[in-house]
Amino acid sequence: MKLNQMALANAFGVLAAVYYVACYFLALLAPEVYKSVALTWFHMIDLSIAWRDAPMGFGLGIVTFTASSWVSGWLLGAVYNKFVK
């Protein structure tokens, strides 16, 4: 069964945008929870120098994260379809 590459890419893009907005608001409203999660994901690397009081760059961040996720979804569909043949 072949995948619809555009549908998969769109799903990746939408999901990425939702994740980005959720993470943004978590960092804005509950920074200590956000920091705790980030530390566990980065295997306890000291990120103290990188922390800000409030997240910045929302516009550029959501556009680039969504776009790169869309491309990843499209590429995944293309590679998957090559293997299905």
pLDDT tens for residues 19-42? 999 999 999 999 889 888 888 888
Burial class (CB in 10 A: 0-12, 13-18, 19+), 13: buried
How much is the pLDDT for 63?
96
Tokens of 56: 């910045």
Higher pLDDT, 67 or 52: 67
| CA dihedral sign of residues 35, 69, 22, 29 | positive
How much is the pLDDT for 38?
86
Q: What is the mean pLDDT of residues 52-72?
A: 91
How much is the pLDDT for 48?
79
User: Where exactly are the structural domains of the chain?
Assistant: 5-84
Would you place residue 54 in the very low, low, confident or very high pLDDT band (cuts 50, 70, 90)? confident
